Structure formats: C-alpha cells, structure tokens
Structure 1
Amino acid sequence: MPTILHVNGVYPQFGQDCFIAPNATIVGDVVMGDQCSIWFNAVVRGDVNSIRIGNKVNIQDGAVLHATFQKTKVHIGHNVSIGHNAIVHGCTIHDNVLIGMGAIVMDNAVVNSNTIVAAGAVVLEGTVCEPGSIYAGIPAKKVKEISQELIHGEINRIANNYLQYSGWFKDQV
C-alpha cells in the first residue's frame, strides 16, 4: 500500500483512473487530476504548502515534489512527465512539459508549455523557461527551440507510454 497521510486533517485528493505505486508517499494538500501516475519511491509532500497536479501527469520513480513553508506552492499542468529522481520544488510547470531524469527545478521557477528540461539540468530559483524550448546544463540555459514534431512526438509519447505502463499494474494494487 502507498503511504497516503493527512496533515492537519487535509488529505490528498485523487482524480479518476490514477495509479499510485505501492511504495509511493503522498501527504497533505495534494490535488491530482485524472489519469495520473505516481511511481515507485516517488514522494509528493504537500505538508508545508499545496501541490496541484493536472491531468495525465506521471511522476516517475524516486522523484520528489515539495514546496517551501508559507512561500512557494507547486503547480503542474496537464500532460507532464517528471523523470526518475527529479526534484520539483516550489515551482510552476505548465502543460506539455518533460522534466528529464535527475533534473532539479527550484523555487519560483516557471517552466512554460511545450518545453523540455534535459536530464541532470538545474533550473535555478526564479528562472523562467521560454515555451517551446530545451533547457540543459547547470545552471540550465536555453540550448535551442524545439520543433512541433518533438513537442507532439517525444513529450506526448512519454506521457502516453506512462498511461500504458500504469495499466500493467492497476489491477494488482
């Protein structure tokens, strides 16, 4: 069973057709849309501030979502993939975004729609990532604009694959 805990009487809320891995942890003021998946060892901590997650979002193995007490919230749009071991902290991620494996997105950063944050990139506090771009490096910088093909191909492919993967497990948990 996943660990799902309330904080001061506020429980996480889940949309329809979601998959929560048996060892995922979700606590507090978390509201999740439909067709989302929280994978093995992922942690979504809405204890010190709120976390809002749109539809068709996958939070992959070992990823951590958290905020800052009374300062920053986490807002994630629709059709977003957050890669293995990524850290998303007190920031806004718009629709159709891929956060690569091991990437870090810091407080008050904004990742606009149709954007890829490369694996291992560090998006510093307060950074605004332009829509339709790839950001990479430490600190993350725009390395190029991405084509509509890549937006609709890679970003959508990964999000859709995670819908398929979650279907493999839903009847077991």
Structure 2
Amino acid sequence: MVRAFEGVTPTLGEGAFVAETAAVIGDVVLGPGSSIWYGAVLRGDVAPIRIGARSNVQDLSMVHGTTGLSSTTLGEEVTVGHRVILHGCTIGDRVLVGMGSIVLDLAVIETDVVLGAGSLVTPRSRLESGWLYLGSPAKKVRRLNDGDRAMIREGWMAYVDLSARHR
C-alpha cells in the first residue's frame, strides 16, 4: 500500500518495488531500483524518510522518525534485513543491517558497514566506515574484508533481481 498522509504522497523512483502488504505512507522517497518487502512499514507521517537507489527494506521491518528530532535516511545499495527497526537514523551507502537489529534516533552508520543480526545501535551513536559491528549495544569487532564487501554487494544485487521477479 502506498498512500498519502496530510496531502503528502510518497515518491517512487523508476523501477522501485513496493510489495502488496507493505505500507509506504506520507513523506517517503524511494530511489530507483529500491524495494520494500512484505509487511514492512515506512511511516513518513511525523518525519521524512529517504531510501537510496537499489536499497532494500525486507519483510516486517519498521522505518519511522521522531517529530521535530529525527528523520530517517538510507544511502544507496543498503540491505535492511527482516524485522529491523530503523528509527530516526542515518545509514550510509553499502551497509548491511542484519535481521532483527534496532537502530535508534540520531544514530549514524557510515558507509561500508556490516551490522550483525540482533544488534542494537543506541541513540546518537556513530558506527565508523569499514567495520563489522555486533551486539547490544553494537561494538566494533573487526575491519571488513573482501568477503564482507562481496556479501554486501551480492545482497543488494540479489534484491534488485528478486524485486523484478515479484512484479
């Protein structure tokens, strides 16, 4: 479902996919080739949401912000795993947010980061580019290697392909 809120209608870039049971509401902009999957909610009612090109928000994830405090922005080629909560945060390009993770208000995840499944990024935290983070709260574990970078690339590319097959 894609619907307006108080006269503001979501904008879908060329080739963006929104699954039938997803909810994309209000001040939301989806970049070209992005995908929003079954049961995901992007609620741009109290703060803007911006999703970059070729990024995906997978099943049952929630994206929101806080009135007067924080919007949510995802860069390009971001993979947001199943059942993730993104609340008023900024995520750079080529980030993998593992399943079940929570990223809270005013947190920043820089480019080229892997956030492991079930991790918690606390308010106003900053995750530095080029690292793997795990845990609750999320802690820096090690530098990304070539295999990690390939996993990020393969992940977003698979969802661009899969979204075309779901149309």
TM-score in terms of structure 1 length? 0.95
| Count of paired positions | 167
Say yes or no: does 1:37 pair with 2:35.
Answer: yes
Q: Does 1:49 align with 2:47?
A: yes
Task: Specify the alignment match of 1:150 in structure 2.
Answer: 148
Match of 2:118 in 1: 120
Counterpart Cα distance in 2 of 1:127 and 1:71:
15
Distance (whole Å) between structure 1 residues aligned to residue 93 and residue 105 of structure 2: 18
Give secondary structure in 2 for the equivalent of 1:52. Answer: strand
Task: Specify the alignment match of 1:160 in structure 2.
Answer: 157
Which residue does the alignment assign to 2:101? 103
Q: Which amino acid aligns with 1:92?
A: T
CA distance in 2, matches of 1:113, 1:39: 23
Structure 2: gaps of 5 or more residues? none
Q: Which position in structure 2 is the counterpart of 1:8?
A: 6
| Distance in 1, Cα, partners of 2:83 & 2:103 | 12
How far 1:49 moved relative to its partner?
Answer: 0.5
Which letter maps to 1:126? R
- What is aligned with 1:74? 72
Shift of 1:61: 0.3
Amino acid at match of 2:17: F
* Counterpart in the other structure of 1:65: 63
SS of 2:164's equivalent in the other structure is: helix
Q: Percent identity?
A: 40
Picking from 26, 29, 32, the partner of 1:28 is 26
Residues 52-108 of structure 1: per-residue CA shift (max 9 Å, x gap): 111001000001100001110001100000000000110000000000000000000
Find the aligned partners of 1:50 and 1:168 in 2 and give their Cα distance. 29
1:169 Cα deviation after fit? 1.1
Unpaired segments ≥5 residues, structure 1: none
Taking the aligned partners of 2:165 and 2:71, their CA distance within structure 1 comes to 32
2:140 is paired with a residue whose SS is: strand
The residue type paired with residue 163 of structure 1 is V
Instruction: State the secondary structure of the residue aligned to 1:44.
Output: strand
CA drift at 1:149: 3.8
CA RMSD in angstroms, aligned pairs only: 0.8
What's 1:19 paired with?
17
